[in-house]
């Protein structure tokens, strides 16, 4: 099911959400996410991050995030990575 963040916070108050960005773009150093697809909902952030890590390891092409519904807006800062990862190490 595709939702807006405002719908997610109404449907899942005070929860951690693992979601995939369906419609998103970059603007002024932030990732603007219009539509999301909820993968799973958690009470504990560590559980959400664990599942994120498992899914991200299997498919790095998916744009997934973990965010808490206490946040009224999705504010996701873009990071610029320097270097190339090889076998879990950063090489510059």
- Tokens for 59, please give them: 């498919």
Q: Which pLDDT value is given to residue 83?
A: 60
Break the chain into its structural domains and give their ranges.
2-91
| pLDDT per residue as tens digits for the range 41-69 | 999 999 999 999 999 999 999 999 999 99
Residues 47, 38, 54, 69, CA torsion sign: negative
**pTM, 2 dp:** 0.84
Measured CA to CA in angstroms, residue 3 lies from 16, 38, 61, 69, 72 at distances of 15, 8, 21, 13, 14
Average pLDDT over residues 10-33: 96
pLDDT at residue number 74? 94
Q: What pLDDT was estimated at residue 82?
A: 67
pLDDT of residue 80: 76
Q: What is the pLDDT of residue 50?
A: 97
Position 89 pLDDT exceeds 60 = no
């Amino acid at each position: 099911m595709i939702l807006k963040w405002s719908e997610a916070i109404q449907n899942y108050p005070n929860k951690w959400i693992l979601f995939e960005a369906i419609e998103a773009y970059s603007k002024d150093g932030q990732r603007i996410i219009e539509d999301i697809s909820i993968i799973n909902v958690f009470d504990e952030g560590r559980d959400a991050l664990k599942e994120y890590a498992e899914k991200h390891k299997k498919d790095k092409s998916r744009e997934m995030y973990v965010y808490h519904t206490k946040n009224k807006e999705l504010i996701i800062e873009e990071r610029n990575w320097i270097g190339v990862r090889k076998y879990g190490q950063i090489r510059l």
